[in-house]
Amino acid sequence: DQQVKQNSPSLSVQEGRISILNCDYTNSMFDYFLWYKKYPAEGPTFLISISSIKDKNEDGRFTVFLNKSAKHLSLHIVPSQPGDSAVYFCAATPSGANSKLTFGKGITLSVRP
Amino acid sequence: DSGVTQTPKHLITATGQRVTLRCSPRSGDLSVYWYQQSLDQGLQFLIQYYNGEERAKGNILERFSAQQFPDLHSELNLSSLELGDSALYFCASSKRTGAGELFFGEGSRLTVL
């Protein structure tokens, strides 16, 4: 049972345009959400996070939006750059000790020059 | 460089064999997590240790075991290997027990022939 779903396996956008990566979750206990980026032959690296008490968090070109009622979050990258081409994983966790991150399958983003 | 070191980077072995994957966490991090990434799958949580004690268990097979040593490094032991065990195995570390931002190693790619 996939508790974190990234239904689109890939996304291709033009350099300079907006990239929107979507993620849905089913577990109501999740209250902290993270995005990780992964380049080939490297481990995932943390990108941005959001707590359930917020509906938006921004860090430079990256903004994460959370819609708790819809159990949906999205990552916006503006403007997209070729160096953003990577696999993006959405992850979620309940709060509290001993909680673990549950990851989606990832979305491969390709930014065309 | 996340500061998390995993060895070996690549490993090829035969069915029925046993292998050990090693992870050194970032300096100061007490929690170690193991994740498995199979083809077209997201990161599947296997097990977590905190300061030498097992804290959370995920979809880890009985043929797999792990431990965290007093110097905080961790080992993941995979035995009676099957073709389906071929995957990328990631280790991640964090300071706390509750999952938040994790720092991932580059992974160990296991190929079972």
- Among the listed residues B95, B100, B33, the one whose alpha carbon sits nearest the alpha carbon of residue B60: B33
Phi, psi of A54 (to 5 degrees): -115, 160
Measured between CA atoms, how close is A46 to chain B, in angstroms?
Answer: 7
Q: What is the number of H-type helices and E-type strands within chain B?
A: 0, 11
Mutate to test the interface with B, among A98, A105, A108 (most CBs of B within 10 A): A98
Is the per-residue pLDDT at A97 higher than 70?
no
Measured between CA atoms, how close is B58 to chain A, in angstroms?
Answer: 9
Q: Do A105 and B41 touch (CB under 8 A)?
A: yes
B75-104: pLDDT as tens digits: 999 999 999 999 999 999 998 776 678 999
Q: Do A44 and B104 touch (CB under 8 A)?
A: yes
Percent of residues, chain A, with pLDDT higher than 70? 97
